[in-house]
Structure 1
Amino acid sequence: MTDRQGEQAASKVVERIRAVQWDGDWSDVFGKAMSRRLLMREYLRRSALWSQTYFAESAWPFFDVTEYMDPESMLPPNTANELEDLLRTRMNGSVKVTCRGAVRLAQLRSSDPTIEGTGLPDLYEPLIRLYERGGEFMEDNAGAIDLTGVSFRPGSLQGNASNTPIVALNNAVLDALDVEGRVTFYASDDRRGPVFRRLFPQEGGQHEEVFSGRLGWQPTIRLSAMEADGDCVRIYDQDAARIIEEALHGAPGAADQE
C-alpha cells in the first residue's frame, strides 16, 4: 500500500460524508428507525472490540480510534481541509469525532498493511451507513442514544463486546427491515425461515406479510394460521435481519455485503 492509496481511501469517505442528507425529511428518517438502530448496535459492538484492542476503553463508544493506534498519523492537507469544512456544519460532537475517525482510519488502513492484520471488522462502516440512512444521532443527558423514532441506552462495553454480529451491512437487508408504522416479526418455533411480519400502518389497520427473497414482502394468511396452531414465535428484529439475509444470500442484485 502507498500514501497515495491512503489518500484515495480517505477521500472516498469524505465524499460519502459530504453526500449525507444531514437535514433530511423527518418522516423519511422515522421510516428507517429500525435499520438505523441495528446499525448503531452493530457499531457499538465493533467499537467495543476496537477499544479493547487499542486500550481505548475510557473513550468508548464514540471516539477516533486512530488517536490510540498512531497518534502521529496525519491526513494529507487537502483532505484534512475538506473534512474540517464539512465538520463545521451543525453536527454534534460525537458525530464529528466519528466522521473524523472514519476518514483517518480509512487513510491509515490503506497506507499501513499491518493494520489489516488485526482481524477486526471495519469500525466506522455501520455508522457511515447509519448517517447515509437519515443523518446524525443525538445523545441525551441520561446517556441514551436518540436516532429519531427510537431511543435506547448503549449498555456496557463488555456486553457489547460479547455480542454476535447484529446486522449484515447489506442495503437489501436494511431496506427490507424498514417500514413506516409499528411492526412485529415472527418465525417458526425453531427460528428458521421464512420470516413473517405483522404491520400496523400509521393510517390504521394491520397487514400480515411474509418475506419471499427477491420478491420482498408479500401478503399472507399463513401467519394467523401458524399462530393458531402454535407453530410460530415472535422474534427480535436482529433475528429477522438474519433470516432475511439468508433469504437474499446469492440473489442477483443483493450483494452489498461487507
Structure 2
Amino acid sequence: MLERLRAVEWVGDWDDVLARVMSRRLLMREYLRRAGMWAQAYGAEAAWPFFDVVEYADPEFAIPPEVAAQLQEYLGQIIAIHAVKRTCTGAVRLADYRARRPDALPDLPDLYEPLLLFYERGGEFLQDNGGFLDLSGVLVRPGTLLGRLAGPPLSSLDPALLDAVDAKGSITYYTAADRQGPLLRRRAVRSVPYDEAFGRDSLRWEPTGTQLPASPEKAAELGVVWLDEMEAAALIWAAIAEAGGAA
C-alpha cells in the first residue's frame, strides 16, 4: 500500500487532471458513501468523512515502526492537506490490519479503495473555506453522513467504467423517457455542444445525430429524462459487463 501511494503523481499535468474530472467526482462520491458505512460501524460519525478507521476499530493497533517512519517521512515531504494525509495513513494501517486480523473487520466494501483510485487519477483534493471539496476542476460539497448513505453506490471501480465516464467538458446525461433507449449525454466544451450516445456494441461514445436538451429543465420538451451521473455509470457498467469488457 505504501508503494502504491509512492507511485501517485500528486501534482499532475493539468490537462490530464481535467480529462479525469468525471471519474474523480464519482470516486469521491463513492468514498463519502463508504466512509459513512464504516463510520457508523465503529461509532466514528464525528470523524467522518476523512479519518483513520483503525483508530476506532482497534485503538491499540500499530503498524511496524519502520513502515510508520517511512510513511510519515513520505507524507511529510509531499502532502500538506490534513485530510489527504489522514486517509493515506488510514489506507496503510487498514491494509496491515486486514492482513493480520482479517476476521476482525465488518463485511463492508473496501473503505479507501475509491479514494486511492481518486488519487491515482489526478492527485490530491483541497478543502475551501466554504465547505467544498476542490477536486481540481470541479467543486463537490461533502453533504451529510446520512445523505451520503442514502445515495446510490458506484456500480464498479473497474478502469473500463472510469475511463468511459471521463471526457472533456461539462456533461449532462439523458435517456429516453421510457428508459428503454440508449444512454445519451450532452458534452459542452467551451459552450460548444456535443451530443453523444453510448453504443452497447462498440462501448464507445458516438454522435447521436439528434439534438439533446441544453439543460435538464428542458428534457421533457425533447422526450428524454435527465439521469444522475451515478445512474448513468450504472448503465455504462451494465453494457460493459454484458459485453465482457470488464478488467
TM-score, scaled to structure 1: 0.86
Find out whether 1:114 has 2:103 as its counterpart: yes
| Post-superposition offset of 1:145 | 0.7
Aligned to 1:210: 197
SS in 2 for 1:215: coil
* 1:10-49 map, 5 Å: 13-49=1-37
Find out whether 1:146 has 2:134 as its counterpart: yes
| Post-superposition offset of 1:77 | 2.9
Aligned to 1:244: 236
| Post-superposition offset of 1:210 | 1.0
- Return closer, same or farther for 1:140/1:167 CA change in 2, 3 Å cut-off: farther
1:99 to 75, 81, 88: 88
Counterpart contact for 2:203–2:240, Cα < 8 Å: no
Counterpart contact for 1:39–1:167, Cα < 8 Å: no
Q: Distance in 1 between matches of 2:52 and 2:211?
A: 46
Q: Distance in 1 between matches of 2:220 and 2:57?
A: 56
Counterpart contact for 2:152–2:230, Cα < 8 Å: no
| Post-superposition offset of 1:223 | 5.4
Counterpart contact for 2:51–2:90, Cα < 8 Å: yes
Letter in 2 for 1:123: L
TM-score, scaled to structure 2: 0.89
Letter in 2 for 1:189: A
Letter in 2 for 1:157: L
The alignment covers a number of residue pairs equal to 240
Aligned to 2:184: 196
Q: Distance in 2 between matches of 1:252 and 1:16?
A: 28
Find out whether 1:75 has 2:48 as its counterpart: no
Counterpart contact for 2:50–2:87, Cα < 8 Å: yes
- Return closer, same or farther for 1:193/1:83 CA change in 2, 3 Å cut-off: farther
| Post-superposition offset of 1:167 | 4.6
| Post-superposition offset of 1:239 | 1.4
Find out whether 1:131 has 2:123 as its counterpart: no
| Post-superposition offset of 1:230 | 4.2
Ranges in structure 1 where 5+ consecutive residues have no aligned partner: 1-12
| Post-superposition offset of 1:211 | 0.8
Q: What's the % identity of the aligned pairs?
A: 49
Q: Distance in 2 between matches of 1:194 and 1:153?
A: 30
Which deviates more from structure 2 when the two are superposed, residues 183-192 or residues 35-44? 183-192
Counterpart contact for 2:158–2:246, Cα < 8 Å: yes
SS in 2 for 1:89: helix
Q: Distance in 2 between matches of 1:103 and 1:68?
A: 15
Q: Distance in 1 between matches of 2:64 and 2:5?
A: 17
SS in 2 for 1:64: coil
Counterpart contact for 1:194–1:212, Cα < 8 Å: yes
Ranges in structure 2 where 5+ consecutive residues have no aligned partner: 214-218
Provide Cα deviations, 1:98-152, integer angstroms capped at 9, x if missing partner: 0000111111112113234x11110001100000010000111222111011112
Q: Distance in 2 between matches of 1:229 and 1:143?
A: 36
Which deviates more from structure 2 when the two are superposed, residues 91-100 or residues 104-113? 104-113
Q: In angstroms, what is the RMSD of aligned CA positions?
A: 2.1
Letter in 2 for 1:239: E
1:66 to 51, 54, 64: 54
| Post-superposition offset of 1:186 | 1.0
Find out whether 1:157 has 2:145 as its counterpart: yes
Letter in 2 for 1:37: R
